[in-house]
């Protein structure tokens, strides 16, 4: 089956065409992403109105490019998938409305995809990872440890109690006067710094649950920055290194707890999988191998470009759901909030809408 996927949840506009083989293997036929970083850089963060307008201006062109690169026509499609949440409501409306128009005109099934489910299933596209597996999902808006038991079958083992890891990286960059997006800037600066010069807290270490907390760490970094103001270049490098080291220590400990919980409830996982923009951080990717080895399980890291937001993961999630006979109606609506654990095999999107 061949599926067109559309992604407009935040500040990337993306379209892709993906093929799912008879035995479940995945093939990316095209994957086009337009980043809006320049449009938002001056504001130090994503401005929802600017993001929605940019999606409107570029989406049709990206879809045409994706279809052209895939060498497919709309008549070749088996379904059209679009991210329907969670995300910025303006962008979701643009992508989902466009998908509905294509589905209606070309008489194709519509699949309203949960953006987090798309991240969760990417490992099956890139590595054909069998169920069940343990997912570490970390991005600008989400930090979760999830048991992925099947398509539409997810159990959250842990999550953040306040800020997401990606959000904490971005706010750290803003405090230290670094550019946008903040995550890569902090990572680059940390590589030049001494992580031992400043002592920052390592929240949640040693707890039996698998939850995260970033607010205390973020506050501690701000206080250190204020204490040493005006900051030299060396101060910035060392603060970034200390911050990243604290995050790494917390992630290692939280993943160990999450994997123990997984094993106790569901047996040994087939793999530890990382997804989301934070999973593109090289320092964090490096530590995951250590955690997986300790748990005697495989480590699956999709390519960095498939960890950040993209159309291929939406198309693949659509193909996985289509294979289960899960399609949605043209009345399906976008939702700024749509927890992953509300996505099930039995419920259609309209059912989720009533609970969201």
* pLDDT tens readout for residues 288-319: 999 999 999 999 999 989 998 999 999 999 99
> For residue 213, is pLDDT > 80?
yes
pLDDT band at 352 (very low <50, low <70, confident <90, very high): very low
How far apart are alpha carbons 199 and 245 in whole angstroms? 10
Q: What is the mean pLDDT of residues 101-125?
A: 97
> For residue 323, is pLDDT > 50?
yes
- Give the per-residue pLDDT at 125: 97
How far apart are alpha carbons 350 and 84 in whole angstroms? 11
CB atoms within 10 A of CB 43: 10
* pLDDT tens readout for residues 148-185: 999 999 999 999 999 999 999 999 999 999 988 888 99
The CA distances from residue 355 to 111, 236, 300, 342, 352, in Å, are 19, 45, 33, 8, 5
What mean pLDDT is reported for the chain? 92
Q: Which domains does the chain have, with CATH numbers?
A: 2-122+306-355 (3.30.420.40), 131-305 (3.30.420.40)
- Give the per-residue pLDDT at 350: 39
pLDDT band at 345 (very low <50, low <70, confident <90, very high): low
- Give the per-residue pLDDT at 277: 81
How far apart are alpha carbons 293 and 316 in whole angstroms? 28
> For residue 349, is pLDDT > 70?
no
- Give the per-residue pLDDT at 34: 93
Q: Considering only CA atoms, which of 328, 277, 337 is closest in space to residue 88?
A: 337
How far apart are alpha carbons 3 and 81 in whole angstroms? 7
What are 146's strand-pairing partners? 135, 156
Q: Is the pTM of this model over 0.85?
A: yes
Percent of the chain with pLDDT over 90: 81
* pLDDT tens readout for residues 29-42: 999 999 877 777 76
Within the chain, residue ranges assigned H as helices are 37-41, 48-70, 89-106, 115-127, 165-175, 182-190, 215-227, 233-266, 282-294, 304-307, 311-323, 349-355
pLDDT band at 128 (very low <50, low <70, confident <90, very high): very high
* pLDDT tens readout for residues 65-112: 999 999 999 999 999 999 999 999 999 999 999 999 999 999 999 999
> For residue 220, is pLDDT > 90?
yes
Q: What is the mean pLDDT of residues 35-59?
A: 83
pLDDT band at 355 (very low <50, low <70, confident <90, very high): very low
How far apart are alpha carbons 173 and 222 in whole angstroms? 10
How far apart are alpha carbons 282 and 125 in whole angstroms? 21
- Give the per-residue pLDDT at 50: 87
pLDDT band at 130 (very low <50, low <70, confident <90, very high): very high
> For residue 348, is pLDDT > 50?
no
């Amino acid at each position: 089956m061949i599926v067109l996927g559309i992604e407009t949840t935040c500040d990337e506009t993306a379209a892709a065409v993906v093929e799912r083989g008879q035995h479940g293997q995945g093939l990316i036929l095209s994957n086009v992403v337009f980043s809006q970083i320049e449009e938002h850089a001056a504001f130090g963060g994503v401005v929802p109105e600017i993001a929605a307008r940019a999606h409107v201006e570029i989406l049709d062109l990206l879809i045409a490019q994706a279809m052209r690169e895939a060498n497919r026509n709309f008549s070749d499609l088996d379904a059209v998938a679009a991210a329907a949440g969670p995300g910025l409501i303006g962008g979701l409306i643009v992508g989902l409305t466009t998908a509905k128009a294509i589905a209606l005109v070309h008489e194709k099934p519509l699949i309203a995809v949960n953006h987090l489910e798309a991240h969760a299933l990417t490992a099956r596209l890139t590595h054909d990872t069998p169920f069940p597996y343990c997912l570490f999902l970390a991005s600008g808006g989400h930090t979760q440890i999830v048991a992925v038991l099947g398509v539409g079958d997810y159990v959250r083992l842990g999550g953040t109690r306040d800020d997401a890891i990606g959000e904490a990286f971005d706010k750290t960059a803003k405090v230290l006067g670094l550019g946008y997006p903040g995550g890569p800037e902090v990572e680059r600066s940390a590589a030049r710094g001494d992580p031992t010069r400043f002592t920052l807290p390592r929240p949640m270490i040693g707890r039996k649950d698998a939850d995260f907390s970033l607010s205390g760490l973020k506050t501690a970094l701000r206080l250190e920055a204020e204490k040493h103001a005006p900051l030299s270049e060396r101060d910035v490098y060392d603060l970034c290194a200390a911050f990243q080291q604290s995050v790494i220590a917390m992630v290692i400990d939280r993943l160990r707890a999450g994997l123990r919980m997984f094993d106790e409830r569901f047996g040994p996982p087939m793999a530890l999988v990382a997804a989301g923009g934070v999973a593109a951080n090289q320092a964090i990717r490096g530590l995951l191998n250590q955690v997986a080895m300790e748990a005697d399980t495989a480590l699956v890291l999709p390519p960095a470009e498939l960890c950040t937001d993209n159309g291929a993961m939406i198309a693949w999630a659509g193909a996985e759901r289509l294979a289960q006979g899960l399609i949605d109606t043209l009345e399906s609506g976008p939702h700024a909030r749509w927890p992953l654990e509300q996505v099930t095999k039995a419920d259609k999107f309209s059912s989720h809408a009533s609970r969201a």
